[in-house]
Amino acid sequence: MLRHLRTFTPLIAGLIVLSVGIFFGVWWNLYDYIPHLDKILHILGGVTAAWFVLALMQREITHMGAWKQTLILVSISALIGVVWEWAEFASNYAQYSHPIWYFYFHGGDLADTMIDLAADTVGALLLTAWALYKER
């Protein structure tokens, strides 16, 4: 039971980050009041994604070297970030057919997408560095 709780803790944290970022951020105009909130949330998203991957794959990757662990955690977290950015891009086309979807979930231009992916990667690297430091 404890193993399952450890697996779902990152998911719960991710839902909290999403709730703050999407719903509360839009409802209360937090993006207007907090500079770079989007980037902060992408860093937290990268941390959460790497945390979830680590929780799922801990037994499989802890015997590997630090570089391999880093590569696995950061790569899968970056893939999650790419899928997220693709969904934001797709929602830009949904603004006419699904305006509610677009209201809460839309992306920026290419520069914003690249910075978001970099922030996701930084978050994954931070969690990986912490996990490797804790492991040693």
Residue-wise pLDDT for 102-132, tens only, equals: 666 677 788 989 999 999 999 999 999 999 9
CA distance 107 to 87: 9
**82 DSSP 8-state letter:** H
Tens-place pLDDT, residues 65-115 = 999 999 999 999 999 999 988 888 877 776 666 666 666 667 778 898 999
C-alpha angle with apex 22: 81 to 30, nearest 5 degrees? 115
Distance separating alpha carbons of residues 105 and 89, to the nearest angstrom: 9
Question: Per-residue pLDDT tens for 20-49?
Answer: 777 787 788 887 888 888 899 899 999 999
Per the structure, the complete domain to which residue 75 belongs is given by 2-135
Cα dihedral: 104, 49, 134, 65 (round 10):
-150
How many domains does the chain fold into? 1
